Every structure is written in structure tokens, then in C-alpha cells.
Amino acid sequence: VTKRLTIALDAMGGDLAPTMVVEGAALAVNRFPHVDFLFFGDEERLAPLVAAHPHLSKTSTIYHADDVVTADDKPSVALRSRRQSSMRLAIDAVKDKGANAVVSAGNTGALMAISKVVLKTLEGIDRPAIASSFPTVRGSTCMLDLGANVQCTAENLVQFAVMGEVFARTVLGVDKPTIGLLNIGVEELKGHYEVREAAAILRASDLPIEFYGFIEGDDIPAGTVDVVVTDGFSGNISIKTMEGSVRFFADFMRNALTSSIFARIGAVLARGAIARMRARLDPRHHNGAILMGLNGIVVKSHGGTDALGFDHAIEVAVGMVDNDFFAKMSQDFERLQADQAHSAAAAVS
């Protein structure tokens, strides 16, 4: 018997909200019948949308929120003056134990700022990070930080490694996840101080972590490691470069396959294979980034996604709750702290 769980939804976040949020939850409830939903947003708009889906209606509660966080709100402003927003009330629901996780397609900076203040960071974590998983040549890889921290210390990077390892093990189901530090070369002397120092700490550590060493940009899509650790500046740039490259390649292929009558016939014959390829690379199927290192599960959906994409962001949240990610990460961080004094000493020697 699967335990029932509750997901809070910021119903007003995202370009196509609230419709795509409700439609996304309606898709998710068919796949995850053990989930109850709490919708936070404009009750008048939400009630008929939810009522249109009898299955969803049965397991959902609507909480009215007067206000919304806009895409332009600065994080500090959203934090101070959007206390009655759908985003804030949805995060509050996790703190007040009504919900096991929250999913929002709203303003990322605001979501991080409010989550940090409401939920606080986990013991042992200085800075939360944004993490996401995506398809690679070898399967799936998880990468963090994707933009929460423009500059990172060696200690931040080490903490990201531990968080990413737990995620890959418990949620992605990788037996002994390998961890790579993103750098501009694989030799020990490459890169800046922080990345070299983080490598030294991870090498010297007694943590049960499979530290692969440095990796380079092309190792990300190659799937050389299960977890890619980097600062939020490089991480954000590389994941967006990868997304843009896939779009570029897809455009290119579309043009190539319509460029002649033979190519068009060929494309029709190969359409099953091309459709499967397109489905695997569809960004909606990888939607749902995790704000990791908080005292609670917060999932960020792409703002521009549709119901199918939002359904996948809900799936990420469900996977983290079902796999007890949170308790396992807390355990690992207790171990990290016990280990840290030792590691630091070893790194210096």
C-alpha cells in the first residue's frame, strides 16, 4: 500500500496558469492516485477548472489566495509584500505540514527567496541549489547548481555533491552514483581555486561518494557521470546551452527532412523512430527543477510549460516524497558534518 501524500500547487504561477496547473494535476492524478492536491490561487477561476475533472475534484482542496507573485517581482519585494500570494501560501502549506511538497511555475528568484525564509536551509547546508535531471547518451544525469548561486565556495560545491549524490541514488535509482566537478580540463591544476579545492576535499573525504574527478562540458550530454556539480553561473549557462543546442538540432533536422521529395518520403517512413526521438528529448518530459537543501521539497516548473510539462514537475515532487529523499539527505548531511573536520584536515595536508 502506497502512503497517501499531499502536494501544494501554486496555481497562479506560469504563463498559462491557472489552466495548465489544473490540467497538469488532472493528468498527474491518473498516474498517481495516492496524491491529494492543494490548489492555492483565485478560487473563482479555479473552482470550475477543478470541477471539470471528477477524479481530481475528489482529491483536491482549493485555498483562495488574493495576490500573485509576478514574473518581474524582485525576490526581496516578493518576500516582503506578497504574503497573501498563491506562491507564498503554497510554501507555507509545506511548513505547516499540510503538504509534503510544493510545485510552482512562478518566478524562480522569488520561489527561492520565500522558500529559504519560510522553510529554512537544512542543517549543514550553507546555500540551497537548483538541481535538475535530463537525458544523456548513457541515461539520465543530474546537475546542480543551475542558477541559485552565481559564486560558490569550495564548501558550497562539496555540499552540492552530497545533495546530488542522494538525489541520484534515491530518486533516479542509480546504485553508486558517480560525481563529476565541471571544469575546463581534467588535470589537477586546471580551473579556479574553488573548483580545485572542492576536488581536494572530495578526494580526501571519507564520505561514501564515488568522486570521478573533473569533467568538461562535453561530458554533460555524454553522461560521463551521474551527477554534475558546478556553480550557478556555469551551470545555468551550460544547461541552457544544451537546451538551445537540442532545439537547434531539431530545427536543422526538420529543414533537412523537408528539403527534397526523397527526404520527405524518408521522413514519413521513419516517422515512428523520429517521434520516439522527439518524445525522449521533449523538454516537457524533463520539466521540474528541485530547490535542494531546504527543509522541505520545493519543485520549480518552467514558467512557459503546458499541462504535460506541469504533470512532469508534479512527478518529480511525488518521486522525492515517495523515495523519502528528505530523510535520506538529512542522514547524509549528519555524516558529512561528522566527516568535515577530518576532510578539511586531509585536504590541507
In the complex, which residues of this chain contact a second copy (CB under 8 A)? 74, 136-137, 147, 150-151, 182, 184-185, 189, 191-192, 216-222, 230, 232-234, 236-249, 251-253, 256-257, 259-260, 262-263, 265-274, 276-277, 280-281
Shortest reach from residue 286's CB to a second copy, in Å: 14
Report how far apart, in Å, the C-alpha atoms of 322 and of each of 19, 37, 179, 294, 296 are. Answer: 26, 15, 24, 17, 14
Contacts (Cβ under 8 Å, ≥6 apart) of 288: 103, 132, 299, 300, 301, 312, 313, 314, 315, 316, 317
Contacts (Cβ under 8 Å, ≥6 apart) of 119: 91, 94, 95, 294, 295, 296, 298
What does R_g of the chain's alpha carbons equal in angstroms?
Answer: 21
Shortest reach from residue 168's CB to a second copy, in Å: 19
Q: Angle between the 325-348 and 307-322 helix axes, to the nearest 10 degrees?
A: 70
Shortest reach from residue 285's CB to a second copy, in Å: 14
Shortest reach from residue 268's CB to a second copy, in Å: 7
Shortest reach from residue 179's CB to a second copy, in Å: 17
Instruction: Identify which of residues 243 and 322 has a Cβ nearer to a second copy in the complex.
Output: 243
Separation between Cα atoms, residue 75 and residue 108, nearest integer Å:
8
Instruction: Identify which of residues 59 and 140 has a Cβ nearer to a second copy in the complex.
Output: 140
Contacts (Cβ under 8 Å, ≥6 apart) of 188: 196, 199
Instruction: Identify which of residues 255 and 337 has a Cβ nearer to a second copy in the complex.
Output: 255
Instruction: Tally Cβ neighbours within 10 Å of residue 117.
Output: 12
Instruction: Identify which of residues 2 and 249 has a Cβ nearer to a second copy in the complex.
Output: 249
Instruction: Identify which of residues 52 and 263 has a Cβ nearer to a second copy in the complex.
Output: 263
Separation between Cα atoms, residue 134 and residue 144, nearest integer Å:
12
Shortest reach from residue 152's CB to a second copy, in Å: 11
What is residue 98's DSSP assignment?
S
Instruction: Identify which of residues 182 and 316 has a Cβ nearer to a second copy in the complex.
Output: 182
